[in-house]
Amino acid sequence: MNKKGFIFIETIIVTAVLLASLMLVYSLYVSSLSAETIRIRYDDPVKLYETFYVKKYLESFNLNLLKERIDNGEPYQMIYRGQSDIFGSSYTAEKVFFENLWMELNIRSIILIPYNVSTLVECTSSNTAAICSNSSLLGYLKTLDDGDENSYRLVIEYAMDASGNSCTSNIGCFYYYASVKVGA
Amino acid sequence: MNKKGMTLVEVIISVGLISVVMLFLFNLLLDMQYENSHASYLKENQVNRATIIKTVEEDLMNNTLNEVRIERNESNSIIRFDFTTFVTELTVMADRISYEGETWLLETNGNDEAYYDFENVKVNPEREIESCSYNLNVDSDGDGVCNYNCDTNNNGILDESERSTVNETFKSCSSFKYYKVIVPAITGSEDNIIDDLEFFYIGRTS
């Protein structure tokens, strides 16, 4: 019987199959680990309370204005740093405080959305670009369950580096997300 | 010629290939063992962190906070929350935190370094600051001409060239204030702040 090269080829084939399956297992493990490092920053207790207080602060002013716009068909409302309409005549007094708050908490964006997010996260409408183009924000919104259709959510995106300072670029930047319910 | 068996070269190459696979497997096993050994005490720390934050924030949400003061000692820092009708204290030591009769230990497996950095506990802002902005284009004598805080460029702010018209009397201040207390926790994780304790409060100014 000619046994030339039989063991070698067998070993090569077995090794190749083993390596391929191990690569698959390892890549699944690594992607699961990296998904978890993103998810751990969703609804962190610190950020939840900060979001609660920001909601309480904004509710002292005219948040109803933004709720009405959503009720009238707008998919969401962004709240900007220099936003004046919700503050009304208090804007002159509050703009510095709001700016300080924004910087202290390393806020990247604040949005008011309907409580039910399933339609929003489908991204079928062209006027959801600001949310749908932000993949990490969209990833967070997809984890939210639908519920009370008559209320809203205030979602805040926080961005900071490993030292807790605001990010100067996307590299080394950690994104935290938290949301609280806003009543009708 | 009898060709049964295998050559030395084939054996060496086979062993080499299997070693590569085994190395890979061993690395994976070490990673998983590390995760497993750290999972239980890391989880305990996360639960404790959430509990401490909830306990303190319950007091903050249900009462009016006047002031936050920090007393620094050799072996601990004491954070005093001055509410309207009472005072509470959060004591931070390297391996534990105490608040209102409860104590939470910072768990570690003995090999990893983990501690509360009590020397660097801080509160922002460090002193009460006024959040005020100037009322622009103040016409104090009613003649239609700006007397104070004149925004001649119409850009919504007072530039350097417009500073001569500034009058501190004419400004509006927010009726809110905030406090953010940070207790750093050093755990060696990539994101230094994820284990930190932070307590936040927004309330009305007095």
Q: What pLDDT tens digit does each residue of chain B (206 aa) get? A: 455 666 788 778 878 888 888 888 888 888 888 777 777 778 888 999 999 999 999 999 999 999 999 999 999 999 999 999 999 999 999 999 999 999 999 988 766 678 999 999 999 887 667 788 888 888 888 888 998 888 888 887 788 888 888 888 888 888 899 999 999 998 877 667 888 999 999 999 86
Residues A6 and A27 in one domain: yes
B192: chain A residues, CB-CB within 8 Å: 162-164
**Number of CB pairs, chain A paired with chain B, less than 8 A apart:** 116
Q: Both A107 and A177 in a single domain?
A: yes
CA distance A93 to chain B (A): 4
Q: Find chain B residues with C-beta within 8 A of A4's C-beta.
A: 3
Predicted ipTM beyond 0.90: no
Cα–Cα distance measured from residue A121 to residue B83, given in angstroms and rounded to the nearest whole number = 43
Which residue type is seen at B124?
A: N
Please indicate, yes or no, whether residues A36 and A55 belong to a single structural domain of this protein: no
- How does pLDDT run across A131-184, given as a tens digit for each residue? 999 999 999 999 999 887 889 999 999 999 888 888 878 888 999 999 999 988
Q: Which residues of A touch B194 (CB under 8 A)?
A: 40-41, 44, 174
Both A162 and A109 in one domain: the answer is yes
Residues A49 and A111 in one domain: yes
Q: Are residues A85 and A103 in the same domain?
A: yes
Alpha-carbon dihedral B14, B18, B19, B21, rounded to 10 degrees:
150
- Examine the domain organization and report whether A47 and A36 are in the same domain: no
A67 and A29 both lie in a single domain: no
DSSP secondary structure string for all residues of A116-135: --HHHHH--SGGGHHHHT-H
Let me know whether A126 and A150 are in one domain.
Answer: yes
**Partner B contacted by A80 (CB < 8 A):** no
Residue B144 CA to residue B24 CA, distance in Å, equals: 81
The C-alpha atoms of residue A90 and residue B34 are separated, in whole angstroms, by 55
Find out whether B66 and B205 touch, Cβ atoms under 8 Å.
Answer: no
Residues 76-105 of chain B with CB under 8 A from chain A are none
Instruction: Give the global pTM.
Output: 0.85
Asked if residue A161 and residue A128 are part of one domain, the reply reads yes
| Chain A residues whose beta carbon lies within 8 Å of the beta carbon of residue B5 | 3
* Contact at CB, B176 and A57, closer than 8 angstroms: yes
Distance CA B77, CA B89 (A): 10
CA-to-CA distance for B89 and A66, rounded, in angstroms?
Answer: 40
User: How many domains in chain A?
Assistant: 2
> How many other CB atoms are there within 10 angstroms of residue A104's CB atom?
16
Confirm or reject contact between B29 and chain A (CB < 8 A).
Answer: no
What is the Cα–Cα distance from B136 to B146, expressed in whole angstroms?
9
Q: Among partner residues A12, A93, A160, which is closest to B174 by beta-carbon distance?
A: A93
Residue-number span of the structural domain to which A2 is assigned? 1-40
Instruction: For residue B71, list its beta bridge partners.
Output: B78
Buried b (16+ CB within 10 A) or exposed e, B89-127: ebbbbeeebbbeeeebebebeeeeebebebeebebeeee
- Could you tell me if A34 and A63 lie in one domain? no
**What ranges do the domains of chain B cover?**
8-130+175-204, 132-173
Average pLDDT, chain A: 89
Alpha-carbon distance of A24 to B24, in angstroms, equals 12
A1/A87 same-domain check: no
